[in-house]
Amino acid sequence: MSAYTSPEIAAREWQTFFLNYPHVLGLSSDLPEADCFITSTDLGKPILATRDSAGQFRAFLNVCRHRGTVVEDAERGRKRQFNCPFHA
């Protein structure tokens, strides 16, 4: 029974199954047109996925490299550019 409630086993499983493999962030229909975005924290890190102006899929950590603050708070929307709230 402890295998189902052990924090140590849960941490090992998270490392093995979730951090070492690619994951689906959403479907193509979640980013249907240029300049759409979605955000997610499902994998333990804030992720910003976008379809750029040329229609290419891009994914980034949704944080400022300098301050570490979340850049985009909305779960989805349309935006051409993202700016850190501290650095504009």
pLDDT by residue (tens digit) across 28-45? Answer: 899 999 999 999 998 888
Give me the domains of the chain, ranges plus CATH numbers: 2-78 (2.102.10.10)
Question: Full-prediction pTM beyond 0.85?
Answer: no
Whole-angstrom distance, CA of residue 38 vs CA of residue 47: 8
How does pLDDT run across 43-60, given as a tens digit for each residue? Answer: 888 999 999 999 999 999
Whole-angstrom distance, CA of residue 30 vs CA of residue 61: 18
Beta bridge partners of 52: none
Whole-angstrom distance, CA of residue 76 vs CA of residue 62: 13
